[in-house]
Amino acid sequence: MTELQIVTLPDEGLRKKARPVTKFDAELQTLIDDMIETMRVANGVGLAAPQIGQSRQLAIIESLPKTDDEENEIEDSRDLFVIVNPRIVWESNDVVDGIEGCLSIPGYLGEVERPYSVRVRAQDRHGKPLKFRLKGWTARIFQHEIDHLNGVLFIDKLTARENLWTEEAYYEMQKAKMEEEEEGVEEETAVPEPEKNS
């Protein structure tokens, strides 16, 4: 497998709708394997073909790992999805805000509102039809990658313009928030000094 180069903004290919896949040949299989390798090397959870300069309706997604009772990652517990020519056929009215990043916009994170659950139809790597009912984090990543295939980036869907941060600024903000919450807990649990009789 070969690691491919990930294109970043302002590459024009990221803003174009990708072409449908019509040939499920050996060349496509090699491309899919190379995309999986590229996504994993980059520590990503999804990768769409336009991100490696290919105008094809193709994306790779890997779920978060399952964890044991002590929150340790269980080896080989991620689900890998290869979706070809995907489309969202239903989305819930329930929406949730979440923090997203993108391998094609390195160093930035933003808050994006998306439907909590979706249904997706697609084809697998060999052209067979697939149906998915997705919710939560996995539904978010599917939506993010399908957006890529339509020339849409997460920065186009921010909850507000100011809700885009550098990774460094975001983690500093989260750290400050946690420290503030910890201080609040300490104040609540502090035992008041008994009043002295005068």
Nearest residue to 109 (alpha-carbon basis) of 166, 152, 42: 166
Rounded to a whole number of angstroms, the distance between the first and last alpha carbons of the chain is: 81
Q: Which residues, in sequence order, are CB contacts of 164 under 8 Å at separation 6+? A: 108, 109, 110, 155, 158
Region at 127 (left for phi over 0; alpha for psi -120 to 50; beta for the rest)? left
Which helix (H) or strand (E) segment holds residue 184: the answer is helix 167-189
Whether cis (ω within 30° of 0) applies to the bond prior to 50 is no
The catalytic position among 145, 168, 172, 188 is: 145
181 as an active site residue: the answer is no
Which residues are annotated as catalytic?
Answer: 145
